[in-house]
Amino acid sequence: MQSAHPTFGRRVLRFVSYDSTERQIVAETIAEFGFRASFAPFQWIATMTGITVFAFDDPFFLLVDPAIAMTDFRTERDSMGEVRVPQNAYYGAQTQRAVENFPVSGWQLPPSMIAAMGRVKLACGIANRDLGKLTGSGKNPLSDGQVESMLSAAKEVAEGQLADQFPVDVFQTGSGTSSNMNINEVLSNRAIEIDGGDRMAEEKSIHPNDHINMGQSTNDTFPTAIHVAAAYEIENRLLPALRRMHESLTEKAQAWDKIIKIGRTHLMDATPLRLGQEFGGFARQIELSIARAEAARDAVLELPVGGTAVGSGINTHPEFGARVAASLSEQTGIAFIEAVNHFEGNANRDGLVDSHGGLKCVAQTLLGLANNIRWLGSGPRCGFYEVKLPTRQPGSSIMPGKVNPVMCESLMQVAARVIGNDTCMTVSGGCGGNFQLNIMMPVMAHTILESIELLAGGVTAFIDFCLDGMEPNEEACEASVEQSLSMCTSLNPLIGYEQAAALAKEAFKSGQTIRELCKEKGILADDVLTEALDPWKMTEPQA
């Protein structure tokens, strides 16, 4: 009897061609595929891009076509021994170990994080160059040309090149050491290549630890890269999207300010307001969201770099942290500073939790706004239909002609995901380590950058495909005003709350409007009643 095996999406797997007679591996490769697997009692079968793979009780995968496994390898060494690495990979032994150790999710760190790591390595290289550390005394000092090659390699990664050389799963060592060594190895080999050397050579003339990682620890540079990535993405992706949304809502508030409609508190009929006022309220919500996003950016401006292993700054120059922060500020245009206290900077990820808290607040604002616009567009005949939403796609597989508020629903789902992500950030920040180090940083990096990307993308799509094309339905707005029983609210100063409430109840039972019932009963003179029930006057304070 078969049971469902989860769909893993994309995973890095080790494929082995196994000679059962000789009981030895004849070929192997490591590759990334998307697959869906099913489980049976003695084997599982996965079909991956047309390749069928069988896994038996032994730890090997047997390929139907062994020729597929004939990928070339090179042998790399680290402090634990030899490792076989794909021949053309820029990464080395430690990255390969991580690939094999963490076949968990198929999720790699996002490109924005890899680019930020490149920026941090570039800034560190510049600081070490300017301090004379790379070309001075010590093990294997570099030439000026080698230093420039190292910086050029870091620039390439910062610009998004070599993105396919970072295969380590998000769910790895909690400090991010695997990813830090991944970039150290990539930059080492690429710098050697730029310098005209042999990147395949066993001895690294530009060494991943001695040169690329000089004056650094994963414990200070990895959280620095998270801060840089988060601040950069908020500044360059989220804030522009929110500012566009604010501009669009403000334009609609001004254009629609002469359209009167009924308010709805508790989803029940309330007093009138102008459609422009309603959208002006939405615009103010986004204005506040912009301020919260700016605060989220500012929460991560302090950088731990310079604290090295435990915050003491062992093996680095006293000016290193400040110089790196200044270089990162120059690269990004964002005012990064060295951590005020490196022991706090290394140990705690409170800034990231604080930053994501602001993003969560932005998300809940967007959730409410999208939901309100969804309600305003409900109908077209049996709902409110006070705004006409752009038609984007057929809405039902069974109901012809039905069109749904899909962009509102998309943004609401984005908001829900970000709100959920905040729990991950809170737990990871508060429970994710002891003493001098947080050990849940890779998932924090993935989570906060996912939230920023989702918010920026969701808001942009909502503007482009819903908000900008939205139109008011003036007829529907104005038709409901006279019917509202809450019109009697304006009579309170003239006849008192109790009598006004009695009129509302009677009007509801009789099906009359408040105006009709007042005229029938002769409660007020016609001119007084007309002025009192003027809906326009109800939309502003009256002296």
| Catalytic residue set | 266, 396
Residue 403 labeled ligand binder: yes
* 38 assigned ligand-binding residue: no
175 has binding-site annotation: yes
Contact assessment for residue 462 and residue 410, using Cβ atoms and an 8 Å cutoff: yes
Cβ neighbours of residue 479 closer than 8 Å, sequence gap 6 or more: none
In 3D space, the residue among 535, 540, 498, 541 whose CA is nearest the CA of residue 515 turns out to be 535
To the question of whether residue 365 is assigned a binding role by annotation, the answer is: no
- 397 in a labelled binding site: yes
Q: Which amino acid is at 17?
A: S
Q: Is 209 annotated as a binding residue?
A: yes
- State yes or no: 402 annotated in a binding site: yes
Name the nearest CA neighbour of 102 among 208, 175, 178, 39.
178
Residue labelled with tokens 């019932």: 517
The reply, when asked if residue 410 is annotated as ligand binding, is no
Q: What is the rounded CA–CA span in Å between residue 519 and residue 136?
A: 97
User: Could you write out the DSSP letters of every residue in 41-79?
Assistant: SS-EEEEETTEEEEE-SSS-EEESSGGGG---EEEEEET
> Across the strands, what pairs with 85?
74
265 annotated among ligand-binding-site residues: yes
Contacts of residue 427, defined as CB under 8 A and 6 or more positions apart, other chains included, come to 440
Tell me if 17 is assigned to a ligand binding site. Answer: no
* 207 labelled binding-site residue: yes
Q: Where are the alpha helices (DSSP H) in 432-533?
A: 441-462, 474-479, 492-495, 497-510, 514-521, 526-532
Has 219 been labeled as part of a binding site? yes
Cα(532)–Cα(491) distance, rounded to whole angstroms? 7
* Amino acid occupying residue 145: G
Which residue positions form the known binding site? 175-177, 207-210, 217-219, 265, 397, 402-404
Which residue positions form the known binding site for substrate? 175-177, 207-210, 217-219, 265, 397, 402-404
